[in-house]
Amino acid sequence: MFDGNFRKPFDAAVAPVAAVLTKTGVGPNAFTAFGIALAGGTAVLLSQGRFILALIGLAVTGFADAIDGAVAKATDSVSIAGAYFDSVADRVSDAFLFFGLSWFYVASDSPQLALLPFALYVAASLVSYQRAKAESLGFDAKGGLMERAERFIVLGVGLAFSGILTWILWLMLIATIITALMRFRKVWLQAT
């Protein structure tokens, strides 16, 4: 949903920030690596139930993830290797965040809920894989209710209002599964 409706305005809004950051001499891959490190730190906060600090960590992680591509464009260093690194980094960051949430639930009064973030990670990975595979075959698989940007935003709401975090995660899981089904149908129709 974000990619289809808000990507261009978002990229335009981030471009001036990226232009300033290029003057630091820090390259886009450094921002990508920084995002992974931030996601790891945020996972630790999540595992400890320190949700407000984790919300801040999530926001900064999201910023690092958003700015790396803009810095690459601003420095004319867009590359296939950088795009690949960014994509892999996104999966690693997602794994850290969902692992942190699983750890939190393992230590809670309802340890069986640790399966919820695990299921969410599996569904999110499927959504990501579908897009990558479809694009490698020459098809379009963008779109859906719960892409990565939406997951960050909705998870942020869950962290801000931690009393409903479990319900937010269930909502995310349902929307992510619907997204996977939507993408499957979209590519299937293109392929046939």
Token readout for 81 is 């290797």
Token readout for 180 is 């996977």
SS3 content of the chain, % helix, strand, coil (to 5): 85, 0, 15
| Nearest one of 46, 50, 59, 48 to 98, comparing CA atoms | 46
**Cα torsion angle, 115, 119, 120, 124, sign:** positive
Is position 90 annotated as part of the catalytic site?
yes
Q: Considering the candidates 90, 94, 109, 140, report the single residue annotated as catalytic.
A: 90
Active site residues: 90
